[in-house]
């Protein structure tokens, strides 16, 4: 029995490596202030995604201008950068099959009003400018954002023992 289980788990690991994707998830200053760190992390854990990087930090406005560079022409950009630098955030890298897509589903739509109950933004947020969390919108931005927020040595490659119960 134990041997069968180990065999399934070890045959899985090479298949899993091939479909690995990473997303950058952040608990924003309002999420931290409102005590939502544990709640948000918990939803990613329960989904079956794997945490590969995490830090509690206060980002500078310069760093956030880089993070949100694509939005620099938007009228809300200066306010967004100021608010994001106003308090600590939790920066995280999560890994798994379709991690970017699942991350966006867990967090909900950009505007909480369009977010289904059961999503973070649908359950806990009201205004678009206080939507508690960030999630990468494509595998490419996931890679770019993780490189912006983490040094390579801050990311951990590890085998999660439940992987063979999450992936077939």
**Site residues (vs ligand DAT, CB under 6 A):** 71, 76, 80, 110, 128-129, 131, 134, 137
Residue 118 class from Cβ within 10 Å (0-12 exposed, 13-18 middle, 19+ buried)?
exposed
- Distance of alpha carbon 33 from alpha carbon 87, whole angstroms: 8
**Cα Dmax for the chain:** 61
DSSP one-letter code for 55: E
Catalytic residue among 63, 67, 111, 134: 134
Give least dist CB 47 to ligand DAT, A. 18
Residue 51 class from Cβ within 10 Å (0-12 exposed, 13-18 middle, 19+ buried)?
middle
Give least dist CB 71 to ligand DAT, A. 6
Active-site residue flag, 111 = no
- Distance of alpha carbon 30 from alpha carbon 20, whole angstroms: 30
Per-residue binding letters, 99-138, with Mg ion (x by CB under 5 A)? --------------------------------------x-
Q: Which is nearer to Mg ion, 137 or 154 (CB)?
A: 137
Give least dist CB 70 to Mg ion, A. 8
Q: Which is nearer to ligand DAT, 16 or 25 (CB)?
A: 25
Applying CB under 5 A, the residues found at the interface with Mg ion are 137
| Active-site residue list | 134
């Amino acid at each position: 029995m134990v041997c069968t289980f180990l065999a399934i788990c070890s045959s899985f690991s090479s298949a899993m490596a091939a479909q690995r994707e990473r997303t950058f998830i952040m608990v924003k200053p309002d999420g931290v202030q409102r005590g939502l760190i544990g709640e948000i992390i918990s939803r990613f854990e329960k989904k079956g995604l794997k945490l590969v990087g995490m830090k509690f930090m206060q980002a500078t406005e310069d760093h956030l201008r880089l993070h949100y560079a694509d939005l620099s022409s938007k009228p809300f950009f200066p306010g967004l950068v100021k608010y994001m630098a106003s308090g600590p955030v939790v920066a995280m890298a999560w890994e798994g099959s379709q991690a970017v897509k699942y991350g966006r589903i867990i967090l909900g739509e950009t505007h909480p009003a369009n977010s289904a109950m059961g999503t973070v933004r649908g359950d806990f947020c009201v205004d678009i400018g206080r939507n508690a969390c960030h999630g990468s919108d494509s595998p490419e931005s996931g890679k770019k954002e993780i490189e912006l927020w983490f040094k390579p040595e801050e990311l951990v490659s590890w085998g999660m023992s439940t992987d063979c119960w999450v992936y077939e």
